[in-house]
Chains A and B, each alone.
Chain A
Amino acid sequence: MVTCDLERCMFCGGCVAVCTKDAIVVYELKVAIDPERCIDCGNCITVCPVGAMGRP
């Protein structure tokens, strides 16, 4: 599953736009990724402008 490094994240919500499973919610200084929905497609990792999204 994809995780978000909150020290890098700028909370722009770009990951939400490319998520095929609506698994990510970004609000203010929080990012919630639903492990039940995430299919590890990597779209969010590709578009994240700051490299916050990744695999542990």
Chain B
Amino acid sequence: MASFGEVYDVAVVGGGPAGLASAKAAAEAGAKVIVFEEHPAIGTPVQCGELLSRSALTELGMRPSKRWLANEFRKVRLVSPGGTEALIEMPPDVETPLFTIERKIWEKDLARLVGKAGATIVTRARVTDLVRKDGAICGVKVRHLKEDRVVRAKVVLACDGPGSPIGRKAGIKIPTSPSKYASIAQYQLAGADIDADIGEVHFYPSPKDICYILPKGDGYANVGYGTLGAGSDRAITMLDGFVRHDPRLAKASIIETNVGVEPISGLHEEISVDRLLLVGDAAGMVNPLTVAGMRFSAWAGVRAGRLAAEAAEDGDASKERLGQLREAFLKLFGQRFRFMDALRTTVFGLEPRDLDDMFAHLGHVKIPARLFRGKKEPVFYPLRMLVGLLIRKPRFFKKLGPLIKARRGGE
């Protein structure tokens, strides 16, 4: 029978990547930490494409493990609505940044490290509200196995995912407009005729309908569709259309369905109040184009955990102090998020024939190995190649010009 105490330094709401990363870091910094996860298992339900960044592993002190590493791949194929293809290839002699994982097992592996660090994780425990004393947050109300409990904590980390219900209860304004959220549906397919070395992005049937294939090896792949605030129809309907239209996928078996809604408006204006801090998806730490969140949750979780442990120890958990996380995040990722946001807007404004021209112009792109050394971002390389298109086809000046300018600002 799981039992837990009544007083902690840090209470973490949510046992996803942000919550687990926070708990691990806070416990390692010496704090007494408890994590509440509402679901019966860590790692489920999967609301994720299962593409992980190596930097997330580095942040968390993890190494690739056979237990959860699904597949590494080196190529990305882009396909226009008209069927024109571009292929982007990583150099053979560098560690590929592209790999897929079994998220359920990976997250359990992370939870194992959290336990080892000395934090307590409670599953089937839903945080229903905050506890206040004279108006100040001093803990959480938890419903666990039909019992309502009060747990006091010096700092609360709200890692409760998109929309952060607990952050809202703390009075933090969270975007609610559907245009600020991506709506995503994904099938895990078995028996698909997919090349394990190629991930794919299809703009189907229009430039604002983004479908993806992430190979997990041996005909096993995650195939998904995301609306990114402006899709043609509901995500699952569009995904069904995509799978039906591609003969490599149509006959495969759906062995799992995953859905989710993710914020794509970037980091929220405010992520802290006295004694409470939002981390991860709850704070809007999601790439506005790729909807990648795990690496940001890992990065922010580690910092938030340390910050919370320090704040608990010296008794200053003010809004401003916890808000240091926001400043640090913007400094490191702000420009990238702005650029990704601009890229999404640009792509959505393109006509199908624009994508045909762009992908034909790109053809087969081999990213030079030198870009993988140092701080450069190899993902920007294909974009730089599109500059040549501006000269050949003047209509692209208006469409891509502002984007390339924004890119320069970020260099």
**Which residues of A are interface residues toward B (Cβ below 8 A)?**
10-20, 22, 27-28, 43, 46-51
Min Cβ gap A29→B in Å is: 11
Q: Say whether A13 contacts B234, CB under 8 Å.
A: no
Q: Say whether A51 contacts B165, CB under 8 Å.
A: no
Say if the beta carbon of B402 comes within 8 Å of chain A.
no
Say if the beta carbon of B200 comes within 8 Å of chain A.
no
Say if the beta carbon of B163 comes within 8 Å of chain A.
yes
Most buried by B among A18, A19, A47: A47
Chain A contact residues, majority secondary structure: loop
Q: Say whether A49 contacts B183, CB under 8 Å.
A: yes
Q: Say whether B236 contacts A13, CB under 8 Å.
A: no
Say if the beta carbon of B301 comes within 8 Å of chain A.
no
Q: Say whether B259 contacts A50, CB under 8 Å.
A: yes
Given A14-B183, A14-B259, A17-B163, residue A50 in contact with residue B234 (CB < 8 A): yes
Say if the beta carbon of B237 comes within 8 Å of chain A.
yes
In the bound complex, residues from chain A placing their C-beta under 8 Å from that of B177 are 18, 43
Contact of B234 among A15, A16, A19, A48 (CB under 8 A): A48
Chain B residue nearest to A51 in the complex (CB): B234
In the bound complex, residues from chain B placing their C-beta under 8 Å from that of A14 are 162, 181, 183, 259-261
A–B pairs, 19, beta carbons within 8 Å: A11-B45, A12-B260, A12-B261, A14-B162, A14-B261, A16-B165, A17-B176, A18-B163, A19-B176, A28-B39, A46-B183, A47-B227, A49-B183, A49-B184, A49-B234, A49-B236, A50-B185, A50-B234, A50-B236
Min Cβ gap B3→A in Å is: 22
Chain B residue nearest to A22 in the complex (CB): B168
Say if the beta carbon of B126 comes within 8 Å of chain A.
yes
Q: How far is the CA of A19 from the CA of B176 in the complex (A)?
A: 6
In the bound complex, residues from chain B placing their C-beta under 8 Å from that of A47 are 178, 181, 183, 227, 261
Min Cβ gap B239→A in Å is: 9
Q: Say whether A17 contacts B263, CB under 8 Å.
A: yes
Q: How far is the CA of A12 from the CA of B281 in the complex (A)?
A: 14
In the bound complex, residues from chain A placing their C-beta under 8 Å from that of B85 are none
Say if the beta carbon of B9 comes within 8 Å of chain A.
no
